């Protein structure tokens, strides 16, 4: 059974801080790892990391994948209050038709 | 806005009742996925449809069923509702090939 575990469970930081969120995975026939941001409701897609794309960056957010150690991290630099959300990582199954999600990291950024 | 539309946003009903949740995928997406998110279980995959056919089943109860219509919209039917079915139900859509799934805003179901 595929498994995705995220840590920490929650994090409280102040604006301007840098945070690192962790995601470890055990999946059969790794295809990719996805990061989502969930604010009020819908998870919104951030990054997809694959064997051929192990590092992604968008503005203050960046993510890397370590296929050997089976984990990924999501970095957010110069955090803002708008970064407050639950961050989810997920891995598709072997057939690529279902995502197994981690439990999420709840990030709160205080002014 | 992900382009995935779910209705209704909220649903309040009683135990034993039946409800239908609706989802319209992003333009061009053939796959629709349904997920349940509860406080204690996180996001759990329920079922996938691809171009009208069921493709994968996850932890979906027998009281729940889904279908995808020729116009590619999908419905999730929940029957004989129990208190424990109260949750957020998300629909996602994708191409079915590159693994990225785009989520709708969800339907919050409250069973009283």
Could you report the per-residue pLDDT of B24-81, keeping only the tens digit for each?
Answer: 999 999 999 999 999 877 899 999 999 999 999 998 999 999 999 999 999 999 999 9
Q: Which two tokens stand for residue B66?
A: 């889904």
Strand runs labelled E in chain A: 3-7, 10-14, 19-26, 32-38, 43-50, 55-58, 61-66, 71-76, 85-92, 99-101, 105-110
Any A CB within 8 A of B52 CB? no
Any B CB within 8 A of A85 CB? no
From chain B, the residues in CB contact with A31 under 8 A are 99
Quickly tell me which residue has 């056919």 as its tokens.
B53
> What is the C-alpha to C-alpha distance for residues A99 and B100, in angstroms, rounded to an integer?
9
- The confidence score (pLDDT) of residue B97 equals 64
How many residues in chain A? 111
> What is the C-alpha to C-alpha distance for residues B8 and B22, in angstroms, rounded to an integer?
7
| pLDDT tens, N- to C-terminus, chain A (111 residues) | 889 999 999 999 999 999 999 999 999 888 899 999 999 889 999 999 987 778 899 999 999 999 888 999 999 999 999 999 999 999 998 887 889 999 999 999 999
């Amino acid at each position: 059974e595929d498994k995705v575990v995220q840590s920490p469970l929650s994090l409280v930081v102040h604006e301007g801080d840098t945070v690192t969120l962790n995601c470890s995975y055990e999946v059969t026939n790794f295809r990719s790892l996805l990061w989502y941001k969930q604010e009020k409701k819908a998870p919104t897609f951030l990054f997809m990391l694959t064997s051929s794309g192990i590092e992604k960056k968008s503005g203050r957010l960046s993510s890397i994948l370590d296929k050997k150690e089976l984990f990924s991290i999501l970095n957010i630099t110069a955090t803002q209050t708008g970064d407050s959300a639950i961050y989810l990582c997920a891995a598709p199954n072997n057939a690529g038709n279902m995502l197994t999600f981690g439990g999420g990291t709840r990030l709160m950024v205080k002014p | 806005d992900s382009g995935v539309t779910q209705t209704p946003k909220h649903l309040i009903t009683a135990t034993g009742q039946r409800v239908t949740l609706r989802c319209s995928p992003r333009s061009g997406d053939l796959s629709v996925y349904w997920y349940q998110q509860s406080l204690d279980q996180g996001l759990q995959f329920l079922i996938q449809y691809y171009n009208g056919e069921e493709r994968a089943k996850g932890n979906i109860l027998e009281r729940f069923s889904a279908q995808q219509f020729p116009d590619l919209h999908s419905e999730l039917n929940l029957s004989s509702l129990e208190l424990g079915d109260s949750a957020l139900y998300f629909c996602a859509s994708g191409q079915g090939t590159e693994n990225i799934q785009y989520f709708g805003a969800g339907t919050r179901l409250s069973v009283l």
